[in-house]
Amino acid sequence: MTAGDTNDRLDDEDYPAYSMGRAAEILGTTQGFLRAIGEARLITPLRSAGGHRRYSRYQLRIAARARELVDQGTPIEAACRIIIL
């Protein structure tokens, strides 16, 4: 693997570059929130070889929208359905 290959992956918005902890930190939310939107099938994180959830930038954008709706008082299940539609 070359440095160019690594940079290409980091530029790919679908590359699962973020751990659950880092994703929660970026979004300003809890890991439980990420698990909940995963259970609601809004996003499906990829798993590392060790079984840890990994999120892409695209998934973080979707999660951020869900968080906005939840912060406005929308129940999490309803927020996920709204975004899916």
User: Tens digit of pLDDT for each residue in 18-73?
Assistant: 999 999 999 999 999 999 999 999 999 999 999 999 999 999 999 999 999 999 99
> Average of pLDDT values for 3-31?
86
Please tell me the distance from the alpha carbon of residue 64 to that of residue 58, in angstroms, as a whole number: 10
> Average of pLDDT values for 2-29?
84
Handedness of CA 73, 75, 76, 78 (dihedral sign): negative
Contacts of 39 (CB under 8 A, 6+ apart): none
Please tell me the distance from the alpha carbon of residue 21 to that of residue 25, in angstroms, as a whole number: 6
Task: Say if residue 1's pLDDT is above 80.
Answer: no
Which residue has better confidence, 2 or 58?
58
Please tell me the distance from the alpha carbon of residue 42 to that of residue 69, in angstroms, as a whole number: 13
Task: Say if residue 3's pLDDT is above 60.
Answer: no
Please tell me the distance from the alpha carbon of residue 10 to that of residue 28, in angstroms, as a whole number: 22
